[in-house]
RNA sequence: CGGGGAGUGGCGCAGCCCGGUAGCGCAUUCGCUUUGGGAGCGAAGGGUCGCAGGUUCAAAUCCUGUCUCCCCGACCA
């Protein structure tokens, strides 16, 4: 069968929604801008969560939980922070309803003295708490992560990429020195890069945000930027060096070895269910979702094929032995024993849900001691020996994981262009899209002008060395080329 | 929040202009035949047409308001 090609036309949005729907990941909720994550979607998120959690623990972090509601006054303590989030907050103003004719209404007598904000992020409530946790240098560092939901009253929403409520993880650390906090920021950036590339098979560019794209209240915002199949960029994760901004705002000090009272240094970092959107738009095709084996809730599905009861019995027995063998090897395998659907239907359904490998077994295979192995990523089918099948599949899953990354990497490289002039920049943006490296003079004015004229933003100033040159717009000096793209 | 489009059985849509009490495809249920790429035939069930108000003898259809979704902008993980 010919390899299917992913839609990259103007109906990319529709394609994306179709994939989400066919894969049973999530659906729109009647509640404005929110989504219902279905069991299939949640299983995927849980796998991502578990892998990340493991990486956090390896780097010395622990999980904790902080309140959903934040007093309004907390939010205003850090000036930049409140400015960044003020326009998109859900605010609790009353504490009860009362029955009236024809329904209920908000009881005006229950107005809160101080309104509560539904957290858009937890820096403020966490730093208010850290004040009490930290007295001495012996209390540092604090390396805490929280898995939670947050709410941002977005103007425009999009399944997984920008919902009013989303699930995420937010790490909040406190350190005695600037160096240690910077190291932590970079370490977590590397954790995100590694997760994106090694688990999601999604290549990313690491770098630092420009001042205008920086997190509200941060000194530096580092990020991983991925490129989707339609040539638009997606910010997939951020790691912030917060300096002493929150320590100042919440008066968090410690007594150091030298007896001096000092302000604490902070970081925060997060990734969200947006990663699921990134995963979909990186790998999926016209047949539906493609999930990298490491994250797939089901890695292998066995589809039995039979006509008569006798055949069914023989094929099922063959399948169950096979299933047990795969499970013993630690492979997440499943046998689709539903007799209410035909094999062709099951093939299509499991493809839409992105299961990396399919095994079809029928009377012929039982007879010959074979199985039919089909890859989701390439649609390649092979009749394979039943002997040593668990090892064959283990290796194949690893191959698929690597191939998916390589395929995505090639796609990204083909959609990445270096330009010298602004005219070339505009032309590439219109005709090709994707990532564009270009010289920029480092001023917010030029950045703003490019954004207004082309809708492209500076995704990041990439890590690493680069040769100096002249800004493509103003001709002024530029230290290095920066990464531009139109973004989600 | 500005511009455009749309809300009609579970899903996708027609009907609306020109008011007369709702229809098609898929899905569902039952029966028989099928089963190595999304089955076929026959029968059945399911909707006060997003919500609220108005006009009218009569509203899915006309009017007003409102909520939600999609697309394009401004804002954003």
**What pLDDT was estimated at residue A404?**
98
Asked whether the beta carbons of A257 and A136 are under 8 A apart, the reply is no
Question: What residue has its CA nearest to the C1' of B76?
Answer: A154
- The spacing between the Cα labelled CA in A327 and the C1' in B38, in angstroms, equals 29
Strand B reaches within 7 A of the A78 CB: no
Query: A429: which residues sit within 8 A by CB, 6+ positions away?
Result: A436, A454, A456, A484, A486
Q: How far apart are CA A122 and CA A64, in angstroms?
A: 12
pTM of this structure = 0.94
Residues 144-183 of A with CB under 7 A from strand B: 152, 154-159, 161-164, 166, 168
- The spacing between the Cα labelled CA in A8 and the C1' in B11, in angstroms, equals 25
Question: What residue has its CA nearest to the C1' of B75?
Answer: A155
Strand B reaches within 7 A of the A33 CB: yes
Question: What residue has its CA nearest to the C1' of B1?
Answer: A155
**What pLDDT was estimated at residue A92?**
87
**What pLDDT was estimated at residue A103?**
65
Strand B reaches within 7 A of the A362 CB: yes
488 residues of chain A, pLDDT tens digit each: 223 334 434 468 878 888 888 898 988 776 777 888 888 999 999 999 999 999 999 999 999 999 999 999 998 898 888 888 888 888 888 888 887 766 677 788 888 999 999 999 999 999 999 999 999 999 999 999 999 999 988 878 888 998 888 999 999 999 999 999 999 999 999 999 999 999 999 999 999 999 989 999 999 999 999 999 888 999 999 999 999 999 999 999 999 999 999 999 999 999 999 999 999 999 999 889 999 999 999 999 999 999 999 999 999 999 999 999 999 999 999 999 998 899 999 999 999 999 999 999 999 999 999 999 999 999 999 999 999 999 999 999 999 999 999 999 999 999 999 999 999 999 998 888 899 999 999 999 999 999 988 889 999 999 988 889 999 999 999 999 999 999 98
Strand B reaches within 7 A of the A38 CB: no
Strand B reaches within 7 A of the A19 CB: no
**What pLDDT was estimated at residue A132?**
96
- The spacing between the Cα labelled CA in A160 and the C1' in B71, in angstroms, equals 18
Strand B reaches within 7 A of the A344 CB: yes
* Strand-strand pairing, A62-63 and A142-151: parallel
Strand B reaches within 7 A of the A442 CB: no
DSSP-assigned letters across all residues of A275-321: HHHHHHHHH-BTTB----TTT-S-SEEEEE--SSHHHHHHHHHHHHH
- The spacing between the Cα labelled CA in A488 and the C1' in B4, in angstroms, equals 21
Nearest to A38 by CA among A28, A27, A53, A50: A27
Neighbours of A240 (CB within 10 A): 27
Asked whether the beta carbons of A272 and A149 are under 8 A apart, the reply is no
**What pLDDT was estimated at residue A197?**
98
3-state helix, strand, coil in chain A (%, to 5): 40, 30, 35
Strand B reaches within 7 A of the A351 CB: yes
Q: Which two tokens stand for residue A8?
A: 């990259």
- The spacing between the Cα labelled CA in A61 and the C1' in B38, in angstroms, equals 47
Strand B reaches within 7 A of the A237 CB: yes
DSSP-assigned letters across all residues of A255-273: E-TTS-EEEPEEEEEEEET
**What pLDDT was estimated at residue A247?**
97
Q: How far apart are CA A451 and CA A455, in angstroms?
A: 5
Bases of chain B below 7 A from a protein C-beta are: 1, 34-39, 67-77
**What pLDDT was estimated at residue A1?**
25
Strand B reaches within 7 A of the A239 CB: no
Which nucleotide comes closest to A451 if you measure CA to C1'? Answer: B74
State whether ipTM is beyond 0.85: no
Asked whether the beta carbons of A138 and A256 are under 8 A apart, the reply is no
Strand B reaches within 7 A of the A286 CB: no
**What pLDDT was estimated at residue A351?**
94
- The spacing between the Cα labelled CA in A340 and the C1' in B46, in angstroms, equals 22
- The spacing between the Cα labelled CA in A160 and the C1' in B77, in angstroms, equals 10
Which nucleotide comes closest to A234 if you measure CA to C1'? Answer: B77
Strand B reaches within 7 A of the A437 CB: no
Query: A276: which residues sit within 8 A by CB, 6+ positions away?
Result: A25, A41, A44, A45, A48, A160
**What pLDDT was estimated at residue A99?**
76
Query: A393: which residues sit within 8 A by CB, 6+ positions away?
Result: A300, A326, A329, A331, A357, A373
- The spacing between the Cα labelled CA in A378 and the C1' in B67, in angstroms, equals 45
A369-378: burial string, b at 16+ Cβ within 10 Å, e else: ebbbbbbbbe
């Amino acid at each position: 069968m010919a390899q299917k090609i992913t839609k990259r036309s103007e109906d990319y949005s529709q394609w994306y929604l179709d994939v989400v729907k066919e894969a049973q990941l999530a659906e729109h909720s009647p509640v404005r801008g929110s989504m219902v994550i279905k069991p299939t979607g949640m299983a995927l998120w849980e796998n991502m969560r578990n892998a990340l959690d493991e990486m956090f623990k390896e780097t010395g972090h622990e999980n904790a939980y902080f309140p959903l509601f934040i007093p309004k006054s907390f939010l205003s303590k850090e000036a930049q922070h409140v400015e960044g989030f003020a326009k998109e907050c859900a605010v609790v103003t009353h504490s009860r309803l009362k029955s009236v004719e024809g329904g209920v209404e908000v009881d005006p007598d229950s107005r809160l003295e101080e309104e509560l904000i539904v957290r858009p992020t937890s820096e403020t409530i966490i730093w208010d708490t850290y004040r009490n946790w930290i007295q001495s240098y012996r209390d540092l560092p604090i390396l805490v992560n929280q898995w939670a939901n947050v709410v941002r009253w977005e103007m425009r929403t999009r399944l997984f990429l920008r919902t009013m409520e989303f699930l995420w993880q937010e790490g909040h650390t406190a350190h005695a020195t600037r160096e240690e906090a910077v190291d932590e920021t970079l370490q977590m950036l590397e954790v995100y890069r590694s997760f994106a590339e090694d688990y999601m098979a999604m290549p990313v560019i690491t770098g630092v945000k420009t001042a205008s794209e920086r997190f509200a209240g941060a000194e530096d915002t580092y990020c991983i930027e991925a490129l989707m199949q339609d040539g638009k960029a997606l910010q997939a994760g951020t790691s912030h060096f917060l300096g002493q901004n929150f320590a100042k705002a919440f008066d968090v000090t410690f007594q150091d070895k030298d007896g001096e009272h000092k302000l604490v240094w902070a970081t925060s970092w997060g990734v969200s269910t947006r990663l699921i959107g990134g995963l979909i738009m990186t790998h999926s095709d016209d047949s539906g979702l493609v999930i990298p084996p490491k994250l797939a809730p089901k890695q292998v599905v066995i589809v039995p094929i039979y006509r008569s009861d006798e055949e069914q019995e023989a094929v099922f027995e063959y399948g169950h032995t096979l299933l047990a063998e795969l499970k013993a090897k630690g492979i997440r395998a499943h046998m689709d024993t539903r007799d209410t659907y035909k094999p062709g239907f099951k093939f299509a359904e499991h493809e839409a849900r992105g299961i990396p490998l399919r095994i079809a077994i029928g009377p012929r295979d039982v007879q010959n001691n074979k199985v039919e192995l089909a890859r989701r990523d390439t649609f390649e089918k092979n009749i394979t020996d039943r002997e040593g099948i668990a090892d064959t599949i283990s290796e194949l899953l690893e191959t698929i994981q690597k191939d998916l990354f390589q395929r995505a990497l090639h796609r990204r490289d083909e959609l990445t262009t270096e330009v010298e002039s602004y005219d070339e920049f505009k032309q590439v943006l219109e005709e090709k899209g994707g990532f564009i490296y270009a010289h920029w003079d480092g001023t917010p004015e030029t950045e703003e002008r490019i954004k207004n004229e082309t809708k492209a933003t500076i995704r990041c100033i990439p890590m690493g060395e680069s040769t100096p040159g002249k800004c493509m717009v103003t001709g002024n000096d530029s230290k290095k080329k920066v990464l531009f793209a139109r973004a989600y």
